């Protein structure tokens, strides 16, 4: 088992739990964490036993407070190179998580700022504690967004609201984030782990190939014509008809039985 310095990694059945673990730095993203997220995204994406992924933060203060700004300030002359290197690994990780067949859940245990906001936006579903907050904060320090948020946020909350977050650095509380559609659910802090585990286990027992195909269809839905997207739907649903889960699901429905999906 590979050990990680900034991320606690645990398999709970078919669910991979990734906990960003730099609580004294509010789980801020540094180069090591970006590399470790990249490594995990590749490992988990190649492991058919992984049928759901949970991403969360350690402690009660922050999910991820964004990039490690004090680290950036330590040598501003090398800042451009540092940002290029870090985003290379971060963006590879986000791409692998977005395209992997396993659903990815963000369990937001506190502040999600900068790259932390981006990591919430790129996941498939998000649950947040009542005291969570969400902000861009990039232009507050004279930088621009990274971590895929300029791709995902306009699709989730719309261009006007995304522009407002970037240009004013408005801070959303959990209720506002839910109202805007950024997250799916709010829970008390002491119920976050249990509610996330319930959702993760539900997804992990589902038709994993079909869930992964849903992710792909949604990622591609805004990039082409109606007819091209419908052709993708045709190819996808036909492909699912060849899977064990697809065939078992159809037969179980007719027989009024609960299907036993195996992820194949």
pLDDT tens-digit profile of 55-66? 999 999 999 999
Report d(CA 136, CA 62) in Å as an integer: 14
Told to judge if 124 belongs to the known catalytic residues of this protein, a careful annotator would answer no
Residue 104: pLDDT band by 50, 70, 90 thresholds? very high
Interior angle at CA 170, CA 124 and CA 179, nearest 5: 45
Average pLDDT on 208-233 reads: 94
Q: Where are the domains of the chain?
A: 7-204, 208-254
Helix (H, G, I), strand (E, B) or coil at 165: helix
Report d(CA 244, CA 151) in Å as an integer: 34
Q: In terms of Cα–Cα distance, which of 94, 110, 90, 104 is closest to 34? A: 90
The pLDDT assigned to 119 comes to 97
Q: In terms of Cα–Cα distance, which of 137, 177, 155 is closest to 98? A: 155
Average pLDDT on 159-182 reads: 98
pLDDT tens-digit profile of 236-259? 999 999 999 999 999 999 999 999
Residue 71: pLDDT band by 50, 70, 90 thresholds? confident
Average pLDDT on 188-213 reads: 97
Average pLDDT on 214-219 reads: 95
Q: Is pLDDT above 80 for 44? A: yes
pLDDT tens-digit profile of 72-86? 888 889 999 999 999
In the CATH hierarchy, which fold is given to the domain comprising 7-204? 2-enoyl-CoA Hydratase; Chain A, domain 1 (3.90.226)
For 29: left if phi > 0, alpha if psi spans -120 to 50, otherwise beta; the answer is beta
The pLDDT assigned to 125 comes to 98
Told to judge if 91 belongs to the known catalytic residues of this protein, a careful annotator would answer yes
pTM of the entire structure?
0.95
Q: Is pLDDT above 90 for 187? A: yes
What are 258's two structure tokens? 């609960």
What are 102's two structure tokens? 């396993």
* Selected catalytic residue, list 39, 68, 146, 245: 146
CA-only gyration radius of the chain, Å: 19
The pLDDT assigned to 144 comes to 96
In the CATH hierarchy, which fold is given to the domain comprising 208-254? Lyase 2-enoyl-coa Hydratase; Chain  A, domain 2 (1.10.12)
């Amino acid at each position: 088992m590979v050990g990680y310095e900034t991320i606690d990694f645990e398999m709970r059945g078919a669910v991979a739990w990734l906990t960003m673990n730099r609580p004294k730095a509010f789980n801020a993203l540094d180069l090591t964490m970006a590399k470790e997220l990249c490594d995990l995204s590749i490992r988990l994406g190649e492991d058919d036993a992984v049928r759901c992924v949970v991403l969360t933060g350690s402690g009660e203060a922050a999910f991820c407070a964004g990039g490690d700004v004090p680290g950036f300030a330590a040598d501003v002359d090398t800042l451009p190179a540092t940002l290029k290197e870090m985003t290379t690994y971060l963006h590879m990780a986000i791409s692998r998580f977005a395209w992997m067949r396993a659903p990815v859940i963000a369990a937001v245990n506190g502040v999600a700022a900068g790259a932390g906001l981006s990591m919430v936006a790129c996941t498939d579903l998000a649950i947040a504690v009542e005291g969570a907050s969400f902000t861009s904060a990039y232009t507050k320090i004279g930088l621009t967004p990274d971590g895929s948020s300029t791709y995902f946020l306009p699709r989730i909350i719309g261009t006007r609201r995304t522009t407002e977050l970037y240009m004013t650095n408005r801070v959303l509380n959990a209720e506002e984030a839910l109202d805007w559609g950024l997250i799916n659910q709010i829970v008390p802090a002491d119920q976050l782990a249990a509610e996330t585990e319930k959702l993760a286990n539900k997804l992990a027992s589902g038709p994993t190939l079909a869930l992964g195909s849903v992710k792909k269809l949604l990622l591609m839905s805004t990039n082409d014509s109606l007819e091209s997207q419908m052709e993708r739907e045709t190819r996808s649903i036909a492909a699912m008809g060849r899977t064990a889960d697809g065939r078992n699901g159809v037969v179980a429905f007719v027989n009024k039985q609960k299907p036993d999906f195996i992820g194949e």
